[in-house]
Structure 1
């Protein structure tokens, strides 16, 4: 489990961004890691950018900052293993965008969500959010800048589960454990393919499905999964 620890709101300073990138490097390099959980400390998941730090940036520095922050989100989205956001509290502005870059989102009953761009004269989440909740809900969330509860997020599909605060870490880890016990090559291929789903037309989607299905069919993971199924046991996998 990776924990964002930048009190009081877990905003990403330059130092905490570098720390997260180093952690992602370690995770990516470890073949034994098959799922990742990210959460926050205290009462916040993350508020995204550190606005006080941003105020001092020149236009050139701001462009570099946006590229770096976006690069961190893209790294999370592109990790070979699934990433689960255990959203323990405030997910605001760039923090909402951070959550959207994760593959699966679980929330605490204490969590809330704000696309804060219009509240501070900026724009956020217009690309990822509609792909998760649909255009109508995304427009309401983005254009009002209002605060939405975990239950509202659940109804929209922004999160898939809501838990009491004390139960959230265990629920997120259980989800990660479930994923980690599936055939790893299949999980990685499925994550990569489904992330591209909205970028492909029908023919491209069918072609990708065929290519990946054949690739997986030829793996030892598939053979072990079949053996485990017929022998009524969990599979034993070694990522190759």
Structure 2
């Protein structure tokens, strides 16, 4: 599910979970565990297997599991993304293909984002579900004023347009992606680890403060909407439209 390799002290974490690395409860629980297991690595590169980095939330599991599954899933989603966002060492996303919805947020939670192929974007509203606080604020940290268009437009961007709004830092060829990501990670390691971690916390403080302020009031409503029968009917219709 999460494959770990080591390259000169840099941990390479590869999501290997089905054909498109869809985010279900099991994968979301595995991400923090994988990060904890490589806590002493100089840096982390996160990538996906196959044709996708991650196609986002496994909506079929949401519909099949119902409210009980959603009650476990949404906290796990926020925890996984916040753990990645707050990892103290350098984290580089090597986006090897489509990074959609929650997959886009996973990439945005990384310090540096390289992309070679596919599309990236937020499709939650198109599917009929709102954002939990943590993913929304991670995206706000990553793209700033471009967030409104990304959320309300629910569109997909190719690598170069994504780079134009700061969502992607560099576009590279597929055959160069991992090597470039490793070089980027190594370069970030030139900063002493404690200084890097401290600076990262400083940069993240506004996002963390917004998360702490909004979660108590907004996330219960998000859970209510994601758990409702009306939402699940809309998700079934959305999934049917994709066939």
Q: Aligning the two structures, in what range does the TM-score lie when normalised by the shorter sequence?
A: 0.7 to 0.9
TM-score by length of 1: 0.75
Partner Cα distance (1:27, 1:193) in 2 = 23
Q: Secondary structure at the match of 1:57?
A: helix
- Structure 1 partner of 2:121: 114
RCO (CA 8 Å, sep 6+): is it higher in 1 or 2?
Answer: 2
Aligned residue pairs total: 195
CA RMSD of aligned residues (A): 1.8
Please point out which of 74, 77, 80 is paired with 2:85. 77
- Structure 2 partner of 1:53: 61
Q: Secondary structure at the match of 1:127?
A: helix
**5+ residue gaps, structure 1:** 201-240
Please point out which of 172, 178, 184 is paired with 1:175. 184
Q: Secondary structure at the match of 1:45?
A: strand
Within the alignment, does 1:193 sit opposite 2:202 as a pair?
yes
- Structure 2 partner of 1:213: none
Preserved CA contact (<8 Å) 2:32 2:84? no
- Structure 1 partner of 2:23: 12
Task: Map 1:146-185 onto structure 2 (within 5 A).
Answer: 146-185=155-194
TM-score by length of 2: 0.75
Preserved CA contact (<8 Å) 2:29 2:76? no
Preserved CA contact (<8 Å) 1:82 1:191? no
Q: Secondary structure at the match of 2:77?
A: helix
Please point out which of 93, 97, 105 is paired with 2:113. 105
Preserved CA contact (<8 Å) 1:34 1:179? no
Runs (4+) of structure 1 exceeding 6 A deviation are none
- Structure 2 partner of 1:129: 139
1:198 Cα deviation (Å)? 5.5
- Structure 2 partner of 1:142: 151
**5+ residue gaps, structure 2:** 1-11, 210-243
